[in-house]
Amino acid sequence: MLHVNELNYRVAGRPLLERASFAVDKGERAALVGRNGTGKTTLLKLISGELAADAGEISLPRGIRVGKVAQEAPAGPESLLDTVLAADQERVRLLAEAEMAHEPVRIAEVHERLAAIRADSAPARAARILAGLGFDEAAQAGACKALSGGWRMRVALAALLFSEPDLLLLDEPTNHLDLEATLWLEGYLKGYPGTLVLVSHDRDLLNRVPERILHLEARRITAYAGNYDRFERTRREHLARQAALNAKQQAERRHIQAFIDRFRYKASKARQAQSRIKALERMEPIAGVMEAQTVTFAFPAPKALPPPLVTLDGAAAGYAPGKPVLSGLDLRLDMDDRIALLGANGNGKSTFVKLLAGRLTPADGRLVRPSKLRVGYFAQDQAEELDLTATPLDHMARLMPDATPQKLRGQLGRFGFGQDKAEVAVGKLSGGEKARLLFALMSREAPQILLLDEPTNHLDVDARQALIQALNDYAGAVVLVSHDPHLIELIADRLWLVAGGTVRPYDGDLEDYRKLLLEQRRAERQKARAERPEKTETVSRKDKRRAAAEARNAVAHLRKAARDAEARLEKLARKKQALEAELARPEVYDGPTAALQDLQLAHGALKQAIAEAEEAWLQAQAALEEA
C-alpha cells in the first residue's frame, strides 16, 4: 500500500529525515512514534503530498484516496450533519447527477454506484460518527459556525472518518476529544476498513489500535511488530544487547591494544603485534547506546494542612444568574486525594475545576477552605496568555518579584528549563515546552492542590511518563481532567462523575466506565430503532416467507460473529482467572523478578484482550440488532 524509500528532508538546512524507509501493507494499522520535534507531523505531510521530499520516493497505488484532517476547521452556516455528508464527494456528485441525468443507461449506472457506496445509509452513518464524537441529535442539526474551535475540529475529524479514505492519516486525533469520545474513537479505528497511519502520544490508544509501531529516531525509521508496550519491551531488549556487545567489543579492543603497546617494538613479537594492529583496524565498531535527554518534572513539596482542604456543602456553580451548570455539590477534598473527573465535554468538568481553583464563586451553598491553602491550576488555554516575546525566566520573575535569580532558575529547572532554555523567547518554544512552563508557573508557590485540565495534550510519551512519576511523588491533592486513560489509571485512586448537572463519586474503575459507555450507546441505538416509524405495506404470505428466509441468511454471519466473540470472551475470562490465582500465590513474589514481571505483563495483556473481546461482542450484538 504505502512504500517510503530512502527519504531525505531538511528544514532550514537541518536534516530531519535521512534515508528513512518503511512500508505499510494494505489494511494495516500502523503508529508513528518518536519524541516531539523528530518529524512525525512532517512525515505525514510528505505522505499526503503537502510537502515535497528532497530525495527518496513515496510510492502509493494509482487512484488511492489519502485522507487527513483539514487544517481549516469547518465554520460555515451548514449543519454538522450536512458538513460531514459533504465529505463524501463522490456521493454528492452522483446525487446531483441522478437529478440531472436523462439517459436511461446512465441513470441506471448512477443508481448502481450509489447503492454500491451505501448512499442511502450515509446519513445514518454520519450521525453515528458525530454521536460517537460527542454530538447529540440537536447539535448535529446546528450550524458549524456556532461551535468553538475544538468542537469544529471534532466535526473535521468526523468528516474525514465518514469519507473512509483508503489511507487514513491521523495526527494526534484525541487532542480535542474528551475521554468518552477518545474511547469511542479507539473502537472505531480498531475496525477501520482501510489502511491507517496514526501519530499519537496516547499510550492506551497506541496499545489498542496499531498492529505495528514505526519508531522515528535519529532521522531514521525502525519498524516493530505489535503495540506500544511490545515496542518498548523489544527496543529495551535490543538496546541492552547492543550495550552488552559494545562493552564486550571495547574490552576486546583494550586487550588487543595492550598487547600491541607491550610487544610492538619487540623483534620476536613484532609480526604478531602487526597482525593485531590489522585486526583492530578491521574490527567494525558497535555503536554505544546513546540515551536521549529525558524530560524532568518535579513539583515542589507543599506544606501540610489539616483536612479537609476543600468542603462543598450544597454548592452550585455557573456563569449566568439563575442558570447553574452544576448544583447539589456535597464533596470534600483531602491532602492525599487523587481524583479524576469523568464525564462528556459540556457536562461541567472545567466549570467544577474553576470552582475549586477560585475562578468561580459558588452561586449557591458553601465552599470552605483554609486561608493558607495554595492551589495550582493548569489549563491548556493558559498558553494563549503567555507573552511570546518574553522568556521563561521573565515570566517567573514577574510572578515572583522578590525571589532571587537562583530561586527563579531552580523552579524552572524542576521542569527541564536549564540555562539555555530559560532565556529563549516563549514564541520559539514547542507546545510541550510551553506546557512545561505552565507547570513551572502554576506550582511556584508549592500548592497543596494541583488542578490539571487536560495537561498532556502537547506532551510526548516520555514526557507523560515523567509527569506521572512527578504526580505520584507529589505530596498534595490532585484533581485531574484528561482524555488519557493511561494517565488516569496510574494517577487517580478515586473517580468522580460529572453528569446530570452535578458531581458525585463513581463506584467503579475506568474499565467499568468503559463498559458503561458501551452499554449506554447500545441502549441509545435500541431506543432510536424503537422510535423509527414502521412501514406498513401489504405483502403476500409467500413474499413474507421469502423475506424471512432472506433476512435469516443475511444475519447468519452476524450471529456467528456474536457467538465467536462470546466464546472468545469466556475463554479469556478463564485464562484471566487462572492467572490471577497464580499471582495470588505469595511465593511468586519471593521468586525471580523477571518471572513476576512476565506474569504481570501477561495479566495486563489479558485485560486488554478481554476489553477488546467485550467490545467486539457488543458491536456484533448491535450489528445483529440493527440487521
Q: What CATH number is attached to the domain comprising 550?
A: 1.10.287
Could you say which DSSP state residue 347 is in? S
Do residue 458 and residue 580 come from a single domain?
A: no
Do residue 447 and residue 356 come from a single domain?
A: yes
Q: pLDDT, tens digit, for every residue of 23-60?
A: 999 989 999 988 877 888 889 999 988 888 889 989 88
Q: Which residue has the cell 490539571?
A: 452
Q: CA–CA separation, 36 vs 461, rounded Å? A: 9
Beta bridge mates, 143: 79
The parent domain of residue 242 ranges over 232-282
Mean pLDDT by 10 residues, the chain (627 residues): 88 84 91 86 89 89 86 80 87 84 81 82 87 86 84 89 91 85 88 90 88 88 88 78 72 76 67 69 57 72 92 92 90 93 87 92 92 90 84 93 92 88 87 89 94 87 87 93 88 92 91 83 71 50 53 61 75 79 70 70 75 71 61
Q: Is residue 381 part of a domain?
A: yes
Q: Which residue has the cell 477534598?
A: 333
Burial of 625 (0-12, 13-18, 19+ CB in 10 A): middle
Q: Which residue has the cell 454471519?
A: 557
Of 302, 312, 307, nearest in space to 448 by CA: 302
How high is the pLDDT of residue 115? 83
> Please, are residues 315 and 364 in contact by the beta-carbon 8 Å criterion?
yes
Do residue 440 and residue 397 come from a single domain?
A: yes
Start-to-end CA span in the chain (Å): 32
Do residue 191 and residue 243 come from a single domain?
A: no
**What is the per-residue burial (b if ≥16 Cβ within 10 Å, else e) of 520-541?**
ebeeeeeeeeeeeeeeeeeeee
Do residue 420 and residue 319 come from a single domain?
A: yes
Do residue 138 and residue 184 come from a single domain?
A: no
pTM (global) more than 0.85 = no
How high is the pLDDT of residue 538? 42
Q: Is residue 196 part of a domain?
A: yes
Do residue 396 and residue 422 come from a single domain?
A: yes
Number of domains in the chain: 5
Do residue 549 and residue 596 come from a single domain?
A: yes
Q: Is residue 289 part of a domain?
A: no
Do residue 349 and residue 464 come from a single domain?
A: yes
Domain closes at, from 226, 243, 264: 226
> Please, are residues 314 and 339 in contact by the beta-carbon 8 Å criterion?
no
Do residue 274 and residue 315 come from a single domain?
A: no
Residues in Cβ contact with 252 at an 8 Å cutoff, skipping those fewer than 6 apart = 283
Q: Which residue has the cell 460527542?
A: 134
Q: Is residue 390 part of a domain?
A: yes
Q: Is residue 297 part of a domain?
A: no
Helix pair angle (104-116, 89-100), 10° resolution: 150
CATH number of 494's domain: 3.40.50.300
Burial of 349 (0-12, 13-18, 19+ CB in 10 A): buried
Do residue 2 and residue 133 come from a single domain?
A: no
Dihedral of the CA atoms 241, 243, 244, 247 (nearest 10)? 160
Q: Is residue 293 part of a domain?
A: no
How high is the pLDDT of residue 588? 67
Neighbours of 16 (CB within 10 A): 20
Q: Is residue 531 part of a domain?
A: no
Domain closes at, from 123, 158, 193: 158
Q: Is residue 295 part of a domain?
A: no
Do residue 247 and residue 213 come from a single domain?
A: no
